Amino acid sequence: MKISIPKNFILGAASSAWQTEGWKGKKETQDSYLDSWYKNEQFVWHNGYGPAVATNFMEQYQDDIDLMQQIHLTHYRTSINWSRFFLDYEQMIVDEDYAQHIDDVIDSLIAADVEPMLCLEHYELPQYLSEKYDGWSSRKVVDLYAEYARIAFERYGDRVKQWFTFNEPIVPQTRIYLDAVRWPHEQNTKKWMLWNYHKVLASAKAVEIYHSLNLDGRIGCVLNPEMVYARSSSDADQKAAAMYDLFYNRVFFDPMLKGAYPKELTALCQKYDVYFDPSEEDLTTIKENTLDFLGVNQYYPKRVRAPRYEWNKNTPFHPEIFFESFDLPGKQMNNSRGWEIYPKVMYDMAMYLKNNYGDIHWLITENGMGRENEEQFMDENGIVNDTYRIDFIGQHLRWLLKAVEQGAPCEGYMLWAFTDCVSPMNAFKNRYGLVRIELDEERTRSLKKSAHWYQSLIDDRVLTI
């Protein structure tokens, strides 16, 4: 089957600052909360490799940009590392060396005909703010972030036309306060909700500032909605899916796109004593500063059923009292990551957005396949023959393009990731890139088979499947 790809449909790739940069030139005081987590709980390093060198993007960004140019990539998303951007996060003293690095990356991308898309935070909360203010528990951090956003827009907004306030803003506090897998290893749903809320507010403030500067561009946020499928059409299973959607998707979507929280959500938060008590003024900021467009990270479907067990009221409230995860028998799996593969999720998400959020323009800002031990697929010329990745992208694109054909306002697809990079979950174990990174001194780069295939998609605008 041959599917034509609309001329203006973006085919790009993404990464983030922390996952690629490495610590060269970083001062001790510029740790992000993830740096500190890595330093203190080293079990997540993969064979001794982690963020310390990462892909050494700080020194080798030009190598990557040359490769982008070679495969005719037109869009690249990365982030500014907030924790490295300042020498003092309260006095707003910019680290000029790091700020210059961002300038250089932007200029070099533009010179290579690759449009830069920048995110203000991709898990890079400064550790200093984490310790001093308990991170996003504090309203103060909202204002410091907003000031950071202003400085970034003023410095780079003449050349960067597409901004994102956060990448997957729900994720850090879910790991910290729902899963309790990161310090302080405590389940605390009230804090989880407060962090969610403060990030919604911070994003709205950044949107307000961006618009007030009258720059020629637009601002969105990268969310990671999970397309929820109920086990059956029974009322109980359907309700479980709706509750999941409410607590994990609409908790960001509604305030960021519609300007207000769902009433059901605030009522439940009050009932279970996890409400975040917003001021009227802040609610007005949220209401008046919805996003211009949306980034959607989409990897796998979420399947739920009605819970089988009563909530033990001696344990803290957790949204899981309303649902239970459900494993689809016979599902297709990416075993390296433990994620189900279900390409139709792209089409279903497109319809979900259209039905619930109307005409908002959006694009896939992440989708991709992490695979361990990729060297086993290397041919005699040293090229990783990653046909499984080509198949994965092709199947997902097929469903996305079907939605576009039916009028979904989706502007494009960006693969995670351009190069292999460090994952907060498992460092270099799973490789996601179109470009392989050897973990040698030189961090040698080489194009995988999927990179050549992606180039042919970009050039020919035809998906053959």
Which residues are at the interface with ligand BGP (CB under 6 A)?
16, 19, 167-168, 224, 297, 337, 366, 370, 416, 423, 425, 430
Q: CA nearest 8: which of 434, 392, 361, 377?
A: 361
Q: How far apart are alpha carbons 171 and 421 in whole angstroms?
A: 18
124 included as an active-site residue: no
Q: Which is nearer to ligand BGP, 278 or 370 (CB)?
A: 370
CB of 224 to ligand BGP, least distance (A): 6
Find out whether 314 and 283 touch, Cβ atoms under 8 Å: no
Q: How far apart are alpha carbons 243 and 194 in whole angstroms?
A: 19
Amino acid letter at 408?
Answer: A
366 included as an active-site residue: yes
Other beta carbons within 10 Å of 464: 11
Q: Which is nearer to ligand BGP, 191 or 337 (CB)?
A: 337
Nearest residue relative to ligand BGP (C-beta): 423
Q: How far apart are alpha carbons 352 and 350 in whole angstroms?
A: 5
Residues in the chain: 465
Q: How far apart are alpha carbons 226 and 465 in whole angstroms?
A: 26
Q: Which is nearer to ligand BGP, 22 or 278 (CB)?
A: 22
Beta strand residue intervals within 155-280, DSSP E: 162-167, 218-223, 228-230
Q: CA nearest 409: which of 109, 142, 10?
A: 10
Q: Which is nearer to ligand BGP, 121 or 245 (CB)?
A: 121
Does a cis peptide bond (omega within 30 degrees of 0) precede residue 409? no
CB of 122 to ligand BGP, least distance (A): 6
Q: What is the DSSP string of 133-179?
A: H-GGGSHHHHHHHHHHHHHHHHHHTTT--EEEEEESTTHHHIIIIIS
Q: Which is nearer to ligand BGP, 395 or 423 (CB)?
A: 423
CB of 405 to ligand BGP, least distance (A): 27
Find out whether 435 and 448 touch, Cβ atoms under 8 Å: yes
Instruction: Exactly one of 21, 121, 124, 168 is catalytic; name it.
Output: 168
Does a cis peptide bond (omega within 30 degrees of 0) precede residue 417? yes
What is the phi-psi region of residue 358: left when phi exceeds 0, alpha when psi lies from -120 to 50, beta otherwise?
left
CB of 35 to ligand BGP, least distance (A): 15
Q: Which is nearer to ligand BGP, 272 or 339 (CB)?
A: 339
CB of 336 to ligand BGP, least distance (A): 9
CB of 277 to ligand BGP, least distance (A): 29
Catalytic residue numbers, as ranges: 168, 366
